[in-house]
Structure 1
C-alpha cells in the first residue's frame, strides 16, 4: 500500500510545485495520474520512487517501487545489466558456477538462481532476444530502451510499478504488449501517460493540479465525461457572472443618470427660491456626497462580480484561452517538393531498406511516416530535408523552407530566456510589445518573459515553439513532427492538434498515436519495412 499525506515539493530555486497532496493507493490498484504539463506528475512519481525527497509531508510505502522514467539519457554510459541493477547478481552467479563459492557472492545472489533465465525470458517477450546484457544502453533506440525497462518488471517482480509515459517510443507491436501487461498485471500500477487507449485500461484516474489530487472512480472515458460536466457547469457560471456584470454596469449608469437629473432639478428650485449662497453650497455638497456614496456602492458591487468572474476564467482550460494563427505557405498546392527514385541508404555493409524507395511529396499533403523502431524513419526525414544523401538512386528537392520539430523541441535554446527565444525568430522586425503580445497569446504572460527555457515543461516548450513560428514572417513550407505528442499531456496535445489543423502547408508526422493522426486529418501513409 502507498500512503501520501500533506505532501509538498519545492524546487531548488524555492518555487513551490505542489502542496497538500493526499492519496491512498491499495494493493493491486491500477491508477492513471493525469494533469497539465508542469503540474508535477513526473516529480511525484520520482518522490514515490525515492529518486527525489519531498519538501514536507508524510509518505509510507510497503515495498520498494520499480520505476520506469520518461527519459533514459542518464543510462547511456552504462550497460543494460547495470541499468536494470542486475549486474552484481549476474557476476556473483557466474563466479559461483565457476567455483568461487564465497560468502560475499552468495549474499549478493541471495538465492536468486533463476536470474539468468528470467532475463532471457523477459527480453524475449519484449522482442529483445538479440540484445547482450553487457552492451551499452547508448547503442539502443528509444523504443528498445523502454522495452528493456519494461522487461525489468518480470525480472524484479515488484509489488508496485511506476510508469512515466511508458508508450513513448514504442511501435505498434510494443504498445500491444504494453496494453496486455497493463490488463494482466497483478501488481499495483501508477501510470503517467497521454496514451488514451492505455488510460482506459486503468481503473481509477487521479488528477493532479494546484488544488491537490482529485480522485475520479473510473477509467479515462469516465473521467472525460465528469470533466465535461464540470466544464459545462463552469461555462454556465461564467455566463451568469457576465450577465450579472452587464446588469450591474447598466444599473450603475441608470442610477447615475437619474441622480444627475435630480441634482439638476434641485439646483434649479434652489436658484428660483433665491436661497443664500451658504445654503446653496450646503445643498450642493450634500448632493455630491449622496452621488459619491451611490457610485461607491455600485463600484464595489462591480468589482466583486469582476473578481469572481476572473477567478472562474482562471479555471478555463488553456485551449479556450489561447489565440492561434498561422500564415499559409506561399507554395501552390500540388507542387512537387521531393521525389525519390529507387533510393536506398546503407549503414555499414547493410542496405537500410529491403526494397528501394520510389515516391514523391507534394505541397499541402499531410503524410504519416510509419515503421517499426529501426526501420529508418529518421534517416528518411534527413534525406527529405537535405541533411543526408542516399547511397543509391536519385532524389530531387524543390526550394522550400522546412522546420523539423523533434520530441525534445531542440529548436528551443535552453540557454535563452523565453523572450530572448521569441526574439531569435523575429525576422519580421516586430516591436518588443508586439512580440510580448504574441507570447501572451500563447499563455506566456509577464511572469514567463525572463524565465529560462530550460525550466519549461514539454508542453510549454511546444507552445513556445508554435509561438516562435507565428512570430517569424517566413512560414514553413514543410513542418516535420517527430513523435510530437510524446512529452505532452492531453490538454497540450489538443492545443497542438488545433495549431496543426490551422497550418495549411505540407505536414510530415512520425507518430504512434493513432488518435492524434486521425485528428490532424492525415491523408497518406508512408510505411517503411
Structure 2
C-alpha cells in the first residue's frame, strides 16, 4: 500500500459534509491527490460521487475546505444538457468561431482578434478531438437533442479533452458507451498527462490508472498501480486479515478455557477453606487471615483472566474489522413465470423515430440482448415498447405486465423518500411490507427514509430497481437499459444472480458483454437500420 504524492493538485482538509436530512457523508476527511491518473473506488454509498462534486464545487462542504491547483474540468455521472445547445457551444468554441468568421469577412477590429487569441486552429483541434472519440459524423452545428445518451457523454468528454484542464474529474465516464467508444476513451485516458480522478466500475478503464484510492468508512487507503494490481494487493491483505481472525479466535477460545479452569480451581480452594473453618483445625485468627489472603489472591487471579479474555475479544474484533464483507443487494424476484408458448411482445413492421425498423416476436421467458453502436436506436426501441415514444408506423403489442428501467434512472421523485417512492408503485402495500422488502435492497431503517435526491448513483439504481420489482402487478417482462452502469462490482454479481433466477421475459440493452453472457441470453439482436438477429458475441 502506497502513500499519496506530495506534489498535490487536489487537497481536502478536515472536510465535512452532511446532507440536509442529517445523513453524514464525511467528517474530518483528509485527502491529497497528486498528478497522474487516480482511480477512486469503493462500494456504492461510500461517497465517491459526492466527493467528486465537492472537489468540483457542485456541493459546498459543511466544514473544512477543498483546494484545487489550476483549472478544473468535471464530467458528472448523470449529464443534464440543454437539448437546444449546439455542439460548438458544448465545446466552448462558439464565440471563437464567430470571431474567425468575422475576420474572414473583413472584420479588423482589435476586440475581434482578442476573442480568437492564439486559437486560430480551434476548429481543426475540435474536429480532431471529436473524431478521436468516434464522433466523426457529428457536425459542430448539430443540436444536442439529436444525439444519443452515449454520444452526449462522448461530446462532453471531448469538450474536456479539448480544454485540457489541469485537473479532470470523471464520474462513471463509460456509462452508456458502446464497445468501440469505450476503447477510444481508454486510449484518451491512457494518454492524459495532467491530474485525473476517475470514479468507475469499469475494470478496463481502471487498468489505465497509475494508482487506486480506496474510499472506505470515511477514509482513503492508497494502492500503487492499476486496478489489477489493487485487486492482487487486496487479496494478499484479506488473506492475512482472515489468518489473523483465525489466530484471534483460537486465542479467545484458549482464554475462555483458562478462565473456566481458573474458576474451577478457585471454587475448590473456597470449598477447602470453608471446610477448614468449619472443622476449626487452626486458630481463628490464623484461619481468618488465610481466608482474607485467599480472597484477595482469588480476586486478582480472576481479574487477570477476565482482562486477558477482554483483550482477546478486542483483538478478534479488530481482526474481523480488517476483513471485508461488503454488503450486496439481495433480490427475491416476484413469481413471474411465463409459459414457453405465450406471446409476450410483438413488434410488427415498426418504424422507430429517427429511422430504423424493428420486427420482433417474443414468446415465453426469452432473454434478449440488444446491442449496437451509440445512437443506433436501442434505447428508442425500449421506449417505444413501453409507449414513451410513439412508433412512426407499424404495431406494438405488449401482452403482459411490463416494467422499464431507463438509463437515466429518472422514474423516481427526487423529493420523496425511498420508501415513499416504492409506495407510489405499490399503493396497496403496507409501510411495514415496503420496509421489509427494501431491506433486501440494503435500505434499512433510516436509509429507507432518505430523499432520493441525496442518493449516490448506485443507491439510486437500487431504489429504482426496488420500486419496479415491488410494483403491482409484478412485471412479467423486464426492459433494462444499461443496468450495470452505476453498480459496484459486488452489486453487479448480485444483480446477475437475481436475473438468472427471473422467470419472466427479459430484454437488456448493455455494452457489458461479460454481464450479458452470464445472464444466459437466448437471442442476440443488433439494432441499426433494422433489427437483425446475430450470432452470440
TM-score class, shorter-chain normalisation, is 0.7 to 0.9
Q: Is the contact made by 1:252 and 1:295 (CA closer than 8 Å) also made in structure 2?
A: yes
**Cα 1:265–1:17, aligned 2, differ >3 Å: closer, same or farther?**
same
Displacement of 1:511 in angstroms is 1.1
For residues 420-463 of structure 1, what are the alpha-carbon distances to aligned partners after superposition, in whole Å with 9 as ceiling and x for unaligned? 4566677786784x765655554444452433232111222334
For residues 446-482 of structure 1, what are the alpha-carbon distances to aligned partners after superposition, in whole Å with 9 as ceiling and x for unaligned? 4524332321112223344555678679654333321
**Cα 1:454–1:258, aligned 2, differ >3 Å: closer, same or farther?**
farther
- Aligned residue number for residue 360 of structure 1: 362
Displacement of 1:110 in angstroms is 0.9
For residues 251-278 of structure 1, what are the alpha-carbon distances to aligned partners after superposition, in whole Å with 9 as ceiling and x for unaligned? 5455555555655565566556699xxx
Moved more, 509-518 or 410-419: 410-419
Displacement of 1:513 in angstroms is 1.8
Please give the root-mean-square deviation of Cα atoms over the aligned residues, in Å.
Answer: 4.2
After superposition, where does 1:107-256 map in structure 2 within 5 Å? 107-153=114-160, 155-158=162-165, 160-210=167-217, 212-253=219-260, 255-256=262-263
Tell me the secondary structure at the aligned position of residue 73 of structure 1: coil
For residues 168-215 of structure 1, what are the alpha-carbon distances to aligned partners after superposition, in whole Å with 9 as ceiling and x for unaligned? 222222222222323444555433222112222333333333464433
Q: Is the contact made by 1:338 and 1:395 (CA closer than 8 Å) also made in structure 2?
A: no
**TM-score in terms of structure 1 length:** 0.80
Displacement of 1:119 in angstroms is 2.7
**Cα 1:272–1:394, aligned 2, differ >3 Å: closer, same or farther?**
farther
Partners of 1:420 and 1:282 in 2: CA distance = 72
Displacement of 1:224 in angstroms is 1.1
Partners of 1:30 and 1:100 in 2: CA distance = 44
For residues 114-139 of structure 1, what are the alpha-carbon distances to aligned partners after superposition, in whole Å with 9 as ceiling and x for unaligned? 22333334334444455454554344
Q: Aligned pair 1:9/2:19, yes or no?
A: no
Q: Aligned pair 1:24/2:23, yes or no?
A: no
Q: Aligned pair 1:105/2:105, yes or no?
A: no
Q: Is the contact made by 2:214 and 2:220 (CA closer than 8 Å) also made in structure 1?
A: yes
**Cα 1:6–1:422, aligned 2, differ >3 Å: closer, same or farther?**
same
**Cα 1:471–1:376, aligned 2, differ >3 Å: closer, same or farther?**
closer
Displacement of 1:148 in angstroms is 1.4
**Cα 1:340–1:436, aligned 2, differ >3 Å: closer, same or farther?**
closer
**Cα 1:456–1:264, aligned 2, differ >3 Å: closer, same or farther?**
farther
**Cα 1:318–1:384, aligned 2, differ >3 Å: closer, same or farther?**
farther
- Aligned residue number for residue 64 of structure 2: 56
Tell me the secondary structure at the aligned position of residue 11 of structure 1: strand
Partners of 1:96 and 1:415 in 2: CA distance = 50
Q: Is the contact made by 2:151 and 2:375 (CA closer than 8 Å) also made in structure 1?
A: no
Partners of 2:372 and 2:448 in 1: CA distance = 40
Q: Is the contact made by 2:407 and 2:482 (CA closer than 8 Å) also made in structure 1?
A: yes
Partners of 1:505 and 1:273 in 2: CA distance = 86
Displacement of 1:104 in angstroms is 2.1
Q: Aligned pair 1:500/2:499, yes or no?
A: yes
Partners of 1:292 and 1:471 in 2: CA distance = 59
Partners of 1:467 and 1:280 in 2: CA distance = 74
Tell me the secondary structure at the aligned position of residue 17 of structure 1: strand
For residues 320-376 of structure 1, what are the alpha-carbon distances to aligned partners after superposition, in whole Å with 9 as ceiling and x for unaligned? x447251563425524342436431243xx6422xx41332421x333221223333
**TM-score in terms of structure 2 length:** 0.79
- Aligned residue number for residue 334 of structure 1: 340
